[in-house]
C-alpha cells in the first residue's frame, strides 16, 4: 500500500529565525541543522544569503556540513539575490535556490510598485536565471492567498515554464481558512498547465491559529511539500508547526494517508535543542512537545491511563521522544540514566565518549546538585555533537514506577475538577501552572534518598522534569 510521500521543508533557520528573539549565530544554526538532519527533514532552508554576512556564512557552512537533505537558500526575484544564494550554496550536495516574489495587488501596488505584467515578467526572468545555475528551483508567490486566483495561476504557469520544480503557495499573512486554502491548492492543480511536472508546496502562518489546519487542507488539495518550523516559530504568530503536522498524519492515517521521512522519536529532542539555543521556552500546553502535552492530572484520567492508556492517549510519549521518566539527574545517577537522557536530548555516544561525558557530569553534579537538561545540553555541546539516534525506536510502552503516572496522590486533589472530562488525550487541570501540585508529598519522598530532591519549582526544566 503506497501512500503519497510528503516532503517536509523545514524553515526554522530562515522564517523561524525571523521571529522576535529567535536569532541564532552561525554555530547555533549549524547545530540545529545537524539535529534537523537527524530528525529526517527533506529540505533545510538554511537562510537568506543576501540578507547578511552571517546568513551567507550559515548557509555556506550548513551546505558544506549537512549532506543528506536538500539545502535551500532564499532569494528575492532579482539577479543579485539569486547569484548570492547560489554562491552560498556552492558546497551543497543537493542545493536548491528558493526565489520569491509577491503577487497580491496590495503588495504590488504599495510594496513593489509594479504592475501585474511587470510582476509576471520579473518572476519569469528570476526563475530562468536561477535555473541556469541550479536544477532544483522553488518559486514562491508571496501573499498568494490574497492574490487574484486567475493571476496566481498565470504566475505559477510562467514559473513552471521558466524551470521551477516546486511552486509554493504561501498564506503569508495567515489569513486563509482551511477549506478555502485546500480549494486554492486544488484550483492550482486543476488550472495550471504543466503542474503535474512539479511539486506544489504549502507555507502557512499562524495568525489565526490555523497554520497546521491549513497545511493539512493544502495536502488534501494536492500539495506534496509542507513548509514548517520546529515549535512553530516564525514571523508574528509563527509558521505551521512541523511536529503537529507530522503527528497528525501519523495518528490519523485514516484521514491523512500520507508518509513523511521524519523520525518522530527525534521530535522532542529537536524542540529542546531549538528552545535551548534561542532561550525561547516551549509553551507548556504546546501540542506534541510542550511539557504538559502528555501530563494527565485529573484523577479520572490517571485512573483510566493505568487501566488502559488508550483511554486518554492518542499517541505515546515515546513515539515523539518525550523522556518517560521524571528522574532528576544528580551525582547519584548512574551512567545508564545519563546515557538515556543524552539520547532523549538528541545525542548518542559511544562507550568511551560516554565515559568522558560521565566524568564531566559527575564533577558538574557535585557542584550544582541538580543537573537539568539545559546543563546537560551545554555539557554535550562542549563535548561536541557526535551524531544521534535516528532509528525507529520502540513504539512500546514502558510505564515505570516513576513514569508519567506516578502522581497517585495528586490525583485525589485534582479529581473533582476534571472528573467529567471525556475528550481523549485531554490535558486538564492547571496547564501552565508549576508544580508540585497540591496534595503531593515532597519529591524526595517519592524516590527516596537516591535521587536529588526538587524543592523549588521555578525553572522551566524543573517543571518539565516533574511534569511529563
Q: Which residues bind Zn ion (CB under 5 A)?
A: 15
Residue in the block written with cell 511539486? 199
Q: Which is nearer to Zn ion, 102 or 320 (CB)?
A: 102
What is the C-alpha to C-alpha distance for residues 184 and 215, in angstroms, rounded to an integer? 12
CB count, 10 Å around CB of 85?
28
Q: Per DSSP, what are the bridge partners of residue 47?
A: 73
CB of 253 to Zn ion, least distance (A): 28
What is the C-alpha to C-alpha distance for residues 15 and 270, in angstroms, rounded to an integer? 17
CB of 409 to Zn ion, least distance (A): 46
Structure-block grid coordinates of residue 288 = 506534541
User: Cβ distance 141 to 155 under 8 Å?
Assistant: yes
What is the C-alpha to C-alpha distance for residues 115 and 109, in angstroms, rounded to an integer? 7
Q: Which is nearer to Zn ion, 74 or 327 (CB)?
A: 74
What is the C-alpha to C-alpha distance for residues 398 and 325, in angstroms, rounded to an integer? 10
User: 17 in helix, strand or coil?
Assistant: helix
Measured distance between the N- and C-terminal CA atoms of the chain, rounded to whole angstroms: 36
Helix, strand and coil percent figures for the chain, each rounded to 5: 45, 10, 40
CB of 330 to Zn ion, least distance (A): 43
Residue nearest to Zn ion (CB): 15
CB of 316 to Zn ion, least distance (A): 32
Spell out the residues 6+ positions from residue 395 whose beta carbon is closer than 8 angstroms to its own.
316, 318, 319
Q: Which is nearer to Zn ion, 15 or 462 (CB)?
A: 15
CB of 371 to Zn ion, least distance (A): 37
Q: Which is nearer to Zn ion, 103 or 319 (CB)?
A: 103
What is the C-alpha to C-alpha distance for residues 168 and 205, in angstroms, rounded to an integer? 13
Residue in the block written with cell 486544488? 186
User: Cβ distance 138 to 202 under 8 Å?
Assistant: no
CB of 392 to Zn ion, least distance (A): 31
DSSP-derived secondary structure letter, 266: G
CB of 102 to Zn ion, least distance (A): 12
Helical (H) or strand (E) element with 444? helix 443-447
Q: Which is nearer to Zn ion, 20 or 448 (CB)?
A: 20
CB of 239 to Zn ion, least distance (A): 6
Q: Which is nearer to Zn ion, 34 or 202 (CB)?
A: 202
Amino acid at each position: 500500500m503506497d501512500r503519497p510521500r510528503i516532503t517536509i521543508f523545514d524553515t526554522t533557520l530562515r522564517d523561524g529565525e525571523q521571529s522576535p528573539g529567535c536569532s541564532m549565530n552561525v554555530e547555533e544554526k549549524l547545530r540545529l541543522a545537524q539535529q534537523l538532519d537527524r530528525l529526517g527533514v527533506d529540505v533545510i532552508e538554511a537562510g537568506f544569503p543576501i540578507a547578511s554576512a552571517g546568513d551567507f556564512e550559515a548557509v555556506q557552512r550548513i551546505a558544506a556540513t549537512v549532506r543528506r537533505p536538500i539545502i535551500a537558500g532564499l532569494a528575492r526575484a532579482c539577479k543579485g539575490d539569486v547569484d548570492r544564494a547560489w554562491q552560498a550554496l556552492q558546497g551543497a550536495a543537493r542545493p536548491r535556490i528558493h526565489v520569491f516574489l509577491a503577487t497580491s495587488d496590495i503588495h504590488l501596488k504599495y510594496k513593489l510598485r509594479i504592475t501585474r505584467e511587470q510582476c509576471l515578467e520579473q518572476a519569469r526572468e528570476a526563475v530562468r536565471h536561477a535555473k541556469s545555475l541550479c536544477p532544483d528551483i522553488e518559486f514562491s508567490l508571496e501573499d498568494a492567498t490574497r492574490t487574484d486566483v486567475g493571476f496566481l495561476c498565470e504566475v505559477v504557469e510562467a514559473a513552471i515554464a521558466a524551470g521551477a520544480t516546486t511552486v509554493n503557495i504561501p498564506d503569508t499573512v495567515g489569513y486563509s481558512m482551511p477549506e478555502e486554502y485546500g480549494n486554492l491548492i486544488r484550483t492550482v492543480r486543476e488550472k495550471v498547465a504543466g503542474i503535474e511536472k512539479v511539486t506544489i508546496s504549502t507555507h502557512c502562518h499562524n495568525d489565526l491559529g490555523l497554520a497546521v489546519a491549513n497545511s493539512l487542507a493544502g495536502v488534501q488539495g494536492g500539495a506534496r511539500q509542507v513548509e514548517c518550523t520546529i515549535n512553530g516559530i516564525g514571523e508574528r504568530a509563527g509558521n505551521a508547526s512541523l511536529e503537529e503536522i507530522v503527528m497528525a498524519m501519523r495518528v490519523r492515517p485514516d484521514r491523512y494517508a500520507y508518509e513523511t521521512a521524519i523520525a518522530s522519536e527525534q521530535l522532542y529532542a529537536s524542540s529542546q535543542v531549538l528552545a535551548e539555543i534561542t532561550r525561547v521556552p516551549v509553551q507548556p500546553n504546546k501540542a506534541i512537545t510542550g511539557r504538559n502535552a502528555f501530563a494527565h492530572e485529573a484523577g479520572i484520567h490517571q485512573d483510566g491511563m493505568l487501566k488502559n492508556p488508550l483511554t486518554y492517549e492518542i499517541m505515546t510519549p515515546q513515539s515523539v521522544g518525550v523522556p518517560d521518566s521524571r528522574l532528576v539527574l544528580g551525582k547519584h545517577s548512574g551512567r545508564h540514566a545519563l546515557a538515556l537522557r543524552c539520547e532523549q536530548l538528541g545525542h548518542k555516544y559511544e562507550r568511551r565518549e560516554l565515559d568522558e561525558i560521565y566524568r564531566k557530569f559527575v564533577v558538574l553534579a557535585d557542584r550544582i546538585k541538580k543537573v537539568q537538561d539545559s546543563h546537560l545540553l551545554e555539557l554535550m555541546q562542549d563535548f561536541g555533537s557526535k551524531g544521534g539516534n535516528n532509528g525507529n525506536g520502540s513504539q512500546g510502552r514502558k510505564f515505570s514506577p516513576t513514569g508519567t503516572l506516578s502522581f497517585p496522590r495528586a490525583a485525589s486533589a485534582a479529581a473533582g475538577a476534571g472528573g467529567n472530562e471525556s475528550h481523549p488525550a485531554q490535558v486538564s487541570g492547571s496547564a501552565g501552572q508549576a508544580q508540585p501540585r497540591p496534595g503531593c508529598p515532597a519529591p524526595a519522598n517519592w524516590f527516596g534518598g537516591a535521587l536529588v530532591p526538587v524543592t523549588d519549582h521555578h525553572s522551566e526544566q524543573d517543571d518539565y522534569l516533574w511534569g511529563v
